[in-house]
Amino acid sequence: MLRKNFLLSGLLLVALSVLPLAALAKDNVEQVGEYEIYYDVLPTSFLNPQVAQGYGVVRSKGQGMVRVTVLRHLADGTSEAVKARVSGYAGNLAGQLNGLSFHTHEVGQNQGIFNLATFRFANDDPMRFNLRVTYDSKKPAHELAFIRRLYMD
């Protein structure tokens, strides 16, 4: 059911990836116990204009977005979306950092939840992301660090 609702909200984007989470590359997920943290980064210019407007995202060359989704695997083999808190920053490899302001978006009623932040980028410049994902208030935040390179279309 969760996967179906991701597809229904898939107009959110073919690019924003509220597509089935299995469609994401394996290097865009981290397993932490019973939780999976999915993340993706892309230019906002890839978004459909209506989708971008619906989520308050400005479509622009040089504007990127990072999305984080957390799922918890249940004993019956299904997964449920988790309302996580995400904070962090993005920057270039020269050490110039910018804080990210994440906003939580829910798809339907408890059917999908993701955190979204936007940032500026230079064409073909590697971006370093350092995020803290809190998925369980009784556990420490998970540190997520990765580098992505974005291109202007």
Residues 36 and 24 sit within 8 Å (Cβ to Cβ) = no
Give me the residue spans of the domains in the chain: 2-20+27-149
pLDDT digits (tens, 9 = 90+) for 16-68: 433 344 444 567 999 999 999 999 999 999 999 998 998 889 999 999 999 99
- Residue 111 pLDDT: 66
Query: In the chain, where do the E strands start and end?
Result: 29-32, 35-43, 63-73, 79-82, 85-92, 97-100, 103-107, 112-120, 126-134, 142-149
| Exposure on the CB side of residue 42, measured as CA atoms within 13 A | 20
In the CATH scheme, what is the homologous superfamily, with its name and number, of domain 2-20+27-149? Domain of unknown function DUF4426 (2.60.40.3340)
Between CA 44 and CA 32 the distance in angstroms is: 29
3-class DSSP assignment, residue 83: coil
pTM of the model: 0.80
- Residue 10 pLDDT: 36
Using 50, 70 and 90 to split pLDDT, how confident is the model at 93?
Answer: confident
